[in-house]
Homo-oligomer: A and B are copies of this chain.
Amino acid sequence: VSDETRTERTLRTRTHARSNMKEVADLAGVALSSVSRVLSGHPDVSEPMRERVMQAVERLGYQPDLLAQSMRRRSTLSCGFVVGDISNPLLAEIAQGAEVTLRDAGYAMLLTNSENDPRLDASHVRLFLQRRVDCLLLSLAAETDRETLALLERIEEPIVVIDRDVPEEIGAGAVLSDHRTGMHAAVSHLLDLGHRRIGLVNGATLRAPRERRAGLEDAYRDRGLPADYRILEGPLTVDHGQRATAELLDGPEPPTAIVAGANQLLVGTLRELRRRNSRIGSDLSLVSCDTIVLTELFDPPIAVVDRDNRELGRQAAAMLLERMSKPDTPPERITLPTRFIARPSCAPPPPGA
């Protein structure tokens, strides 16, 4: 119930917002340099001095200006995260884990979508460098783009890649998922059920699809079985998922089990199976990679190679913070587990198949 107008209040607010270190120094009755030392956490500050300054800071509601501090420190306390597509639930969970960990350490997360376009990776890294981020988290659209790799090799800012293989010369840390072991377990389960012809609808050219392919091949080799599998590689799109599923099922010896190598591919596979009225868990067995609400709630529930995506984000952020505090240690690689969860979408192949 104040009479002041909006303009008056705005003016007062503006003045208040601009309240500066000088005012803090005047109120505390100390030199400006003392305020600066207290606020920057300088060790040579007596406890009474610190208290006096902080009382003035609180009374004035003074907020230290991180931008001005950044200029002095040459650090912006920010991390740039290049993400293929934040609307992919997998990447959104990774971003969520990373953001909370970075924020706890005082870092802001800048986020940019490369729309899974390799040409945008380098330009987004450059944008972040112009903004002087202190470090980079990268879920690159491509692992072999020459421009991106040349840029990453040149820069000094600590880098951690998430589930990507990049050349050692870049000096990046890496947090990876052990797709190979999870896929090996999934395929072994299908082989145990009696399947011999398994189709893998896979991505291409990135680490995850390479490891998934290797896990499938290992499982056949470990049992001395002939390589009666088919692997169809392509982009991580619903469309590729649907086409590849159709191609597998229209082949001369169609598979009795299909593995969808990513959540986008699963959507395409399910569309195609519905179109054909295939009964999952009886006509055909199905496994997917990464848990989404669909895999649990589908009827029948869909077996998955599961992993903890938030943990992947947390570990990547933690590794980045560690690299910033100890810049001279060699880059680390850690691999987080995946696990296969069997569900009723997997059953023995139909008789005669």
Instruction: Give chain A's interface residues, CB within 8 Å of chain B.
Output: 6, 10, 13-14, 16-17, 63-68, 70-71, 76, 78, 85-89, 92-93, 95-96, 99-100, 103, 108-113, 115, 126-132, 154-156, 171, 263, 267, 270-271, 274, 292-294, 297-299, 310
**Contact B86–A87 (Cβ < 8 Å):** no
Q: What DSSP secondary structure best describes chain A's contact surface?
A: helix
Given contacts A95-B111, A113-B99, A132-B65, contact A13 B156 (CB under 8 A): yes
Stoichiometry, as copies per complex, reads 2
**Contact A92–B86 (Cβ < 8 Å):** yes
Given contacts A13-B156, A110-B108, contact A67 B76 (CB under 8 A): yes
Query: Can you list 8 A-B pairs, Cβ within 8 angstroms, ordered by A?
Result: A71-B71, A78-B110, A86-B95, A100-B113, A109-B111, A111-B111, A294-B294, A294-B298
CB distance from A73 to the nearest CB of B (A): 11
CA distance A99 to B92 in the complex (A): 14
With A67-B70, A67-B132, A109-B112 given, name 4 new contacts (CB 8 A): A14-B156, A66-B131, A87-B93, A100-B113
**Contact B110–A64 (Cβ < 8 Å):** no
Which residues of chain B come closer than 8 Å to A14, judged between CB atoms? 156
Which residues of chain B come closer than 8 Å to A128, judged between CB atoms? 108
CB distance from A339 to the nearest CB of B (A): 20
